[in-house]
Amino acid sequence: MKICWYTQEQREGAQLGAVVDGRVYDVSAALQALPPARYPALHGDLLLANLDLIRVAINQLLPGAASIPAERARFLSPVANPGKIIGVPVNYADHVAEANADQATFTDRYKGEVREQGLFLKAASSLVGPSEGVALRFPQRLSHHEMELGVVIGKTAANVSVDEALDYVAGYAIALDMTVRGPEDRSLRKSVDSYAVLGPWLVTADAVGDAQKLDIRLAVNGEVRQQANTAEMIIGIAEQIAWASSYYTLYPGDIIMSGTCAGVGQVLPGDVMQCLIDGIGAMRVDVRAAQD
């Protein structure tokens, strides 16, 4: 199942959608299946914590739901309330070589392989959907695209084993881990507003199959820059989940950006990024200056 949050012209507020055969169906009424929210809120995204209930409600609504063509929908992040966004650095060998060969750009602050460098966090406030685009905050500095497979957690996970890890995945999406280059800590440079893009929808884990065998591709203004297969990861998805859960509890809606391949590069206002992951979908992300 493909689940999204979206808006459309002449309608106020976000709608819950299900994407089927190129159309987006308004299944917002499925939210009535959620338990009432309370304050203080529990950890995690309420929808993803109750994904099984939501899926049943969506299937009941689909036959009579209104729909629009997917190209008319304005896609937001499919995760509305992530607790944290976890990044996995230098997780493709070709990107390791790329970074080592250009330390003037990538800096030599972080050396060593992925296990030595450790995971990092991006601020949840940096998260946007593809239709919201990327706003460049520091035009005098390099901002680079890093396309990745986004892994969305569906159940609370703490100290899980590699063998059990994939049982905690709600689904997958396309992710962009945007970054400002410079000497500061990763988490600062990667937490700029709009520098975490997720979309265009969440594909539930059962509909993806083997997420460790997906082709990924990113083009800027039609020029292909990044191309790889998730089989090329140094640390696979299951190990990433187990590793992260050994340091902190993962909650429904937490996002793991699973690492990028070679070909990362600068984007400028007016650029258009086209992202594709087989089995997930495609999304367009426009780049603009922050004041626009």
279 conformational bin, left if phi > 0, alpha if psi -120 to 50, beta if neither:
left
Q: How high is the mean pLDDT of the chain?
A: 94
Burial 101-124 (b: 16+ CB within 10 A, else e): eeeeebeeeeeeebeeeebbebbb
**Range 55-59 average pLDDT:** 98
Q: By percentage, how much of the chain surpasses pLDDT 90?
A: 86
pLDDT at 146 over 80: yes
pLDDT digits (tens, 9 = 90+) for 75-130: 999 999 999 999 999 999 876 677 666 665 666 665 678 888 999 999 999 999 99
User: pTM, whole model, 2 decimals?
Assistant: 0.95
Q: Could you give the 3-state DSSP secondary structure of residue 107?
A: coil
| 252-276 mean pLDDT | 97
Residue whose C-alpha is closest to residue 217's, from 277, 266, 130, 146? 277
pLDDT band at 41 (very low <50, low <70, confident <90, very high): confident
| Helical (H) or strand (E) element with 187 | helix 186-189
Neighbours of 96 (CB within 10 A): 17
Q: Which amino acid is at 163?
A: D
Quote the pLDDT of residue 281. Answer: 97
Q: Indicate the pLDDT class of residue 42, thresholds 50, 70 and 90.
A: confident
- The amino acid that residue 244 corresponds to is A
Instruction: Give the per-residue pLDDT at 292.
Output: 64
What is the rounded distance in angstroms from the CA atom of residue 258 to the CA atom of residue 256?
6
In this predicted structure, what is the pLDDT of residue 35? 94
pLDDT of residue 37: 86
Backbone φ and ψ for 121, nearest 5 degrees, come out as -115, 140
For residues 165-191, average pLDDT: 96
- Please state, in angstroms and rounded to a whole number, the distance separating the CA atoms of residues 200 and 206: 18
Considering only CA atoms, which of 64, 7, 196 is closest in space to residue 16? 7
Q: What one-character-per-residue DSSP string does 61-75 give?
A: HGGG--EEEGGG-EE
| Per-residue pLDDT at 2 exceeds 70 | yes
Show Cβ contacts of residue 292 under 8 Å, excluding neighbours closer than 6 positions: 135, 269
Give the pLDDT band of residue 291 (cuts 50, 70, 90): confident
User: pLDDT for 182-231, tens place per residue?
Assistant: 999 999 999 999 999 999 999 999 999 999 999 999 999 999 999 999 99
pLDDT at residue number 179? 96
Q: Is 162 left (phi over 0), alpha (psi -120 to 50) or beta?
A: alpha
Q: How far apart are CA 217 and CA 277, in angstroms?
A: 6
pLDDT higher than 70, residue 251: yes
Which residues touch 129 (CB under 8 Å, ≥6 apart)?
5, 74, 75, 76, 77, 78, 197, 198, 199, 200
What is the maximal distance between C-alpha atoms in the chain? 57
What value does the mean pLDDT take over residues 241-248? 98
Please give the Cα distance from 135 to 197 (Å, whole number).
11
